[in-house]
């Protein structure tokens, strides 16, 4: 109730799709149209590339030593570039990501198929598979089903998702952290578990760091950091072990939460639209066949699958309101002056559901991402990864992963509703990401894939 009052009482400026309000003491502008979003993210991206400091994210990132939540600075730019370079090592051009995803998909498929014709909630298995992929990329560990360390990782991650940046009052009034707060306590506990685990991984990596190609993200960061700040003309300490640790933790959390949530949303929509699922499978049968697993080189021949992925990210963006930006100088949005220090919230939900840009925005219609000739066409108001200097660093990695997971899953099996079960609820639960409500599926192996893998 208190939150509601704080939000509602203080609305002071309304300019059509753009409005301002006070969230406690912080003047905040909310951007709802894609024109204004482009001004904030792209045209004046530099002006608005700052981040506010919040109690929960400061705790999570040791005072902003990460990429997503830390404020704009020359060190942040250097750090971001290092992360970006390290990611490309695992992305396009290497078959490493593909091998990693394939082995996770093989075990995911046999796990899903082991349920026979029984209905079950797919979320635990999907999260486990995605977590396994990210664990391999970040620190070269792969886990078997039921591994204790994997369970530990999944449970601390859930704890963080439940308690971080949820628009709670401590993120508005920092002094409230002095009062007992069960959610903040839980966050601290989860962070402690995370730090223990990652520090151990970091030490192991430091001890075994060898010449030659880095074998995972931690290796790449440790090697990249050696360049030192002086060589980049920066003052101060440069990229420290803390930065490396926070980056690994964040790559991890972001990689797991966003990918598994997007996959679960797409599955939920496929259960609502069996005709879409059939069309994807037809495309796979015609362009890949059943004799081999779909791989990255098939991507060009599977435009409809790409549309399904895009439509899933449009209709249920995992980040319906982007992480808050702040104005680093006096600037403007849509001709209205915006003072330095103003917080800016970009409402991606409203941009992705704006009837001026999308015909029947509430319907799941993957064809909207095809032009008249049947080629892929991406409208400029589609921004599931944000844009500009703060655009998601993991975008291409995420797209590759979504493609590999969905192509392999739909090639090998069909998803149906359990007998008599209602289709999944599509409303979603809003936390730091927008997650679907739990639902059940029945998995039916497709001809030739009865065992799950080849």
- Comparing CB distances to ligand STR, the nearer of 161 and 221 is 161
Q: Binding segment for ligand STR among 209-217, 276-284, 304-312, 315-323 (CB under 6 A)?
A: 315-323
DSSP classification of residue 321? B
Binding ligand STR (rule: CB under 6 A), the pick from 28, 33, 56, 319 is 319
Helix (H), strand (E), coil (C) string for 253-304 = HHHHHHHHHHHHHHHHHHHHCHHHHHHHHHHHHHHCCCCCCCCHHHHHHCHH
Which of the residues 161 through 190 are near ligand STR (CB under 6 A)? 161, 164
DSSP classification of residue 441? B
CA pseudo-torsion sign 130, 135, 136, 138: positive
Q: Which of 128, 160, 163 is nearest to 146 (CA)?
A: 128
Total number of residues that touch ligand STR (CB under 6 A): 15
Judged by CB under 6 A, does residue 306 bind ligand STR? no
Backbone φ and ψ of 126, nearest 5°:
-65, -45
CA distance 281 to 402: 16
Q: Binding segment for ligand STR among 36-44, 271-279, 318-326, 360-368 (CB under 6 A)?
A: 318-326
Judged by CB under 6 A, does residue 259 bind ligand STR? no
Whole-number minimum distance, CB 302 to ligand STR, in Å? 25
Q: Report the DSSP pairing between strands 429-430 and 434-435.
A: antiparallel
Whole-number minimum distance, CB 434 to ligand STR, in Å? 9
Whole-number minimum distance, CB 66 to ligand STR, in Å? 7
CA distance 137 to 402: 15
CA distance 401 to 394: 10
Judged by CB under 6 A, does residue 250 bind ligand STR? yes
Name the residue with tokens 């979504």: 402
- Comparing CB distances to ligand STR, the nearer of 112 and 433 is 433
Binding ligand STR (rule: CB under 6 A), the pick from 254, 276, 305, 406 is 254
Whole-number minimum distance, CB 324 to ligand STR, in Å? 11
Detail the residues annotated as belonging to a binding site for heme: 392
Report the residue number whose CB is nearest to ligand STR: 253
Q: How far is CA 216 from CA 181, 212, 221, 223, 252, in A?
A: 37, 12, 9, 11, 12
Binding ligand STR (rule: CB under 6 A), the pick from 20, 122, 253, 452 is 253
Return residues touching ligand STR (CB under 6 A).
Answer: 68, 157, 160-161, 164, 250, 253-254, 257-258, 318-319, 323, 432-433
């Amino acid at each position: 109730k208190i939150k509601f009052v704080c939000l509602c009482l203080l609305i002071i400026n309304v300019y059509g799709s753009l409005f301002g309000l006070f969230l406690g003491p912080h003047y905040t502008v909310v951007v709802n149209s894609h024109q204004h979003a482009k001004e904030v993210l792209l045209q004046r991206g530099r002006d608005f590339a700052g981040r506010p400091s919040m109690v929960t994210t400061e705790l999570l990132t040791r005072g902003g030593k990460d990429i997503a939540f830390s404020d704009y600075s020359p060190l942040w730019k250097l750090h971001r570039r290092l992360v970006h370079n390290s990611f490309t090592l695992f992305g396009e051009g290497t078959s490493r990501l593909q091998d990693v995803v394939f082995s996770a998909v093989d075990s995911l498929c046999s796990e899903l198929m082991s349920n026979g014709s029984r209905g079950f909630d797919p979320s635990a298995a999907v999260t486990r598979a995605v977590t396994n992929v990210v664990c391999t990329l970040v620190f070269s560990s792969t886990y078997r089903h039921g591994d204790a360390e994997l369970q530990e990782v999944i449970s601390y991650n859930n704890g963080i998702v439940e308690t971080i940046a949820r628009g709670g009052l401590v993120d508005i009034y920092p002094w409230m952290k002095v009062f007992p707060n069960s959610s903040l306590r839980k966050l601290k506990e989860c962070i402690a578990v995370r730090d223990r685990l990652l520090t151990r991984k970091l030490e192991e990596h430091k001890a075994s760091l060898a010449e030659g190609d880095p074998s995972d993200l931690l290796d790449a960061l440790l090697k990249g950091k050696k360049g030192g700040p002086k060589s980049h003309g920066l003052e101060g300490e440069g990229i420290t072990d803390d930065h490396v640790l926070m980056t690994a933790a964040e790559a991890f959390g972001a990689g797991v939460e966003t990918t598994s949530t997007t996959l679960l949303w797409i599955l939920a929509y496929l259960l609502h639209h069996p005709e879409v699922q059939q069309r994807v499978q037809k495309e796979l049968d015609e362009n890949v066949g059943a004799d081999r697993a779909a791989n990255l080189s098939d991507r060009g021949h599977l435009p409809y699958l790409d549309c399904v992925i895009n439509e899933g990210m449009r209709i249920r963006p995992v980040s319906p309101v982007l992480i808050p930006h702040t104005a680093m100088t006096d600037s403007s949005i849509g001709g209205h002056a915006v003072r330095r220090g103003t917080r800016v919230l970009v409402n991606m939900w409203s941009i992705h559901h704006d009837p001026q840009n999308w015909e029947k925005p509430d319907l799941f219609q993957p064809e909207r991402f095809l032009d008249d000739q049947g080629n892929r066409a991406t409208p400029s108001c589609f921004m599931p990864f944000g844009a500009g200097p703060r655009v998601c660093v993991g975008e291409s990695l995420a797209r590759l992963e979504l493609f590999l997971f969905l192509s392999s899953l739909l090639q090998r099996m069909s998803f149906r509703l359990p007998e008599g079960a209602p289709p999944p609820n599509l409303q979603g639960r809003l936390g730091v990401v927008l997650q679907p409500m739990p639902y059940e599926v029945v998995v039916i192996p497709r001809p030739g894939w009865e065992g799950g893998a080849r």
